[in-house]
Structure 1
Amino acid sequence: MMKTGDLAKIANISLRTLRYYDKIGLLKPSQIAPNGYRQYNEEDLIRLQKILLLKKLGFSLEEIEGMLLEKDPSWIDSLKEQIGLVDQKIQYFQLLKETIRKTIEIVERNGMSVEKTVQLLEIISKDDQLVEQYKNSKNLHVRIRLHHLYSTNPIDWFSWLKEQIDFSKGYRILELGVGNGDLWIEPKVDLRNREIFLSDISEGMLEDAKKRLSDDFSFMQIDAQNIPFKKDFFDLVIANHVLFYLNDLSKGLNEIYRVLKKGGVFYASSYSKSHMKEITDLAKEFDSRIQLSQNVLPDVFGKENGEKLLGSFFSQVERKDYNDTLVIDQAKPIVDYIISCHGNQNEILSGHIREFYQFVEDKIKAQGAITVTKEACLFIAKK
């Protein structure tokens, strides 16, 4: 066992920092001796190492608290995850170093140019984007994993989705919002003699998809509201749980309609207002101020209004429903899911994540499991 001073010395941090971590619940001592001395063990030291590295990589203490929620983390898995984060930082600094070197050469020959200054500023700003991209990727993985682990429907969402899409006449295909590329793992289509463009507005998501998929695909960073292709170009366009994130839905639909050929098909998925409602209710029961999304996404584009919205652009619109239930008997996946959402939950739960974790655990113990409704759908729109 180590006293506070011993742990601070080993980790090369101040006593004040360690006491602050104790105060906010980020790193509590394993035990407190009868004389009041706080004592830490090897597991506490391991936890502190991860805290310090994640802080060095740019994460806030609130975000780190959520990332360390698991009671019995695998140290090997933890280290592997940290290697991925460090690799991203190394790539960034290598790019920055090379840009500075080239800038020095240009300045020595011709003086500093506005163009080179702007380029350097853009690269410097990417350091802040790395952490944001990692969070986006991790959050998507958390949400998908919850469905993989606890769905009761024997046919998972992506398998069902692949069965609904008619790839037979799709020789030029565009997916908007590819995420981590799950739709194209074990594709239902022969990739030969086809041009398949996978896009996302997030550079980090696009990098994730590239790592998982083959060179048979073309990857592009695209905003669905401004698609850089000519009119009547694609046979199929796919937007899986994407449209409700657009700032201007009409502009996005107009762009999708424009790039589709006559007779082309647009596949757009969404969900109902009741989808995952039990998760929202659980969060609000803990604190009524929590909003898991800045907007009510199905109000923007959902099961209830999607057909009408698409009908303003497309001649034929059909809806197919996918229903499922999650039966969740562990607290951590629920808490991780809630933390991963796009609302104000992290701000409100800051400093209270352990308390919230215990709240969810108590609910599961009382009920045996938490049952969650899934009501997703796919709209098939023909031009």
Structure 2
Amino acid sequence: MTSETAPENLRTFYADPDLLRDRQQTYAGAGFAGWVLERLDLRKVGDVLDAGAGVGRFTLPVAQRLADRPARVVAADLFDGMLRTITRAAVQRGVTVGTLVADIQALPFPAGRFDLVLANHVLYHLPDLDRGVRELARVTRPAGVLVATTNADDIPVAVIDLHRAALDRIGAPAEPAEPSTFSLRNGEAVLRRSFHDVTLHTFRDQQVFADAAELVAAYRTTGRFRAAVEKTGADLDGAASQVAAEWANRQGGRLTSPIVMGAFVCAGPRPTASSPRPS
């Protein structure tokens, strides 16, 4: 687990909607949300929960796809600033989205409430992952679906490599990388404890940075950068700029970073004491 995925750092690293939006463009690839939704059958979907919705990367496209029917889309997040951002964007796009401050580990909804539940790039933040997944299964209808997205744990990421190189340049230690609690490698086992059927779809893309300055700008949006600057007081921006420029020179000015993520599509929520059972 890195500093950005550690639950205790959520408010520091994820409460700013603008920084989250910029970071998603770096890590996630522009077409990821659409790619995920294309793998779902939305024809019979009415009620949708986007749990840990952030700035609405999935909430808004879902609401637009369901705008021609009496569907209800709800975005839940720990931070009301994120939810206000979603509300403004929904008005601009002419769609209706309900919002609620809520914790995935204790969702304030009755059992079997939603046809489609989304939990995208959020489950690795949960202090009690199994409890959170059980809650998501609880609010999913017996014939409903949960979609949970996450990253590959073994793919180099340019901004993370730059972070470590910049820290090395100023002589500061980098925190050791720890495996994610919910990744493409281990996510299925977690989800199968609460769902009968789990299918993984893998997304591959590439982030291309026009020059060293664009890579450094992406790095500045990360919680790693802000935390390290606060901790060391050093010119980490300058060190990162030097390193990125050296990389660009070696690579003929072209800087790239692979993107490997995936979507677990889960059906057949396992009943709990408070979950409805199929008739």
TM-score (norm 2): 0.79
Q: Which residue of 2 aligns with 1:181?
A: 56
Q: Which of 352, 358, 362 matches 2:236?
A: 352
Q: CA deviation at 1:269?
A: 0.2
Contact 1:290 1:345 in 2 (8 A): no
Could you tell me how far 1:216 is from its partner in structure 2? 1.4
> Which residue number corresponds to residue 71 of structure 2?
194
Q: Is 1:362 the counterpart of 2:241 in the alignment?
A: no
Equivalent residue, structure 2, for 1:304: 185
Given the alignment of the two structures, is residue 206 of structure 1 paired with residue 89 of structure 2, yes or no?
A: no
Taking the aligned partners of 1:142 and 1:349, their CA distance within structure 2 comes to 24
**Percentage identity across aligned positions?**
24
| One-letter amino acid matched to 1:340 | T
Count of aligned positions: 245
User: Structure 1's 295 and 230: CA in aligned 2 closer, same or farther, altered over 3 A?
Assistant: farther
CA contact (8 A) 2:13 2:222 kept: no
Distance apart, 1:164 and its partner CA: 1.7
Give the number of the structure whose residues are more often helix, by fraction: 1
Q: 1:229 to 1:170 in 2, by over 3 A?
A: same
In 2, Cα distance between equivalents of 1:250 and 1:203: 25
Q: 1:257, CA displacement in angstroms? A: 1.1
Q: Structure 1 residue 381 and structure 2 residue 253: aligned?
A: no
CA RMSD of aligned residues (A): 2.5
> Equivalents in 1 of 2:134, 2:15: separation in Å?
31
Return the letter of the residue paired with 2:48: I
Name the CA shift for 1:135/1:360 in 2 (closer, same or farther; >3 Å): farther
Q: Secondary structure at the match of 2:261?
A: strand
Contact 1:134 1:204 in 2 (8 A): no
Distance 1:364 1:240, change over 3 A: same
Q: Which amino acid letter does the alignment assign opposite residue 365 of structure 1?
A: N
Q: Match for residue 194 of structure 2? A: 313
Contact 1:269-1:377 at 8 Å conserved across structures: yes
Q: What is the match of residue 323 of structure 1?
A: 204
Q: Name the structure where strand makes up a greater proportion of residues.
A: 2
Q: 1:145 matched to which residue of 2?
A: 25
Q: 1:143 is matched by which residue type in structure 2?
A: R
The aligned amino acid for 1:382 is A
Q: Which residue of the partner structure matches residue 334 of structure 1?
A: 215
Q: Give structure 2 stretches of 5+ with no counterpart.
A: 1-10, 269-279
> SS at the partner of 1:362?
helix
Give the secondary structure class of the aligned counterpart of 2:188: helix
Q: 2:40, 2:233 → 1: CA distance?
A: 40
Q: How far does residue 138 in structure 1 lie from its aligned partner after superposition? A: 2.2
Change (3 A) 1:203 1:133: farther
Aligned CA distance change for structure 1 residues 169 and 350 (closer, same or farther; 3 Å): farther
Q: Deviations over 1:131-171 (max 9, x none)?
A: 969962122122133368xx6xxx71122122123222221
C-alpha displacement of 1:336: 3.1
Larger radius of gyration: 1
Higher relative contact order (CA 8 A, sep 6+): 2
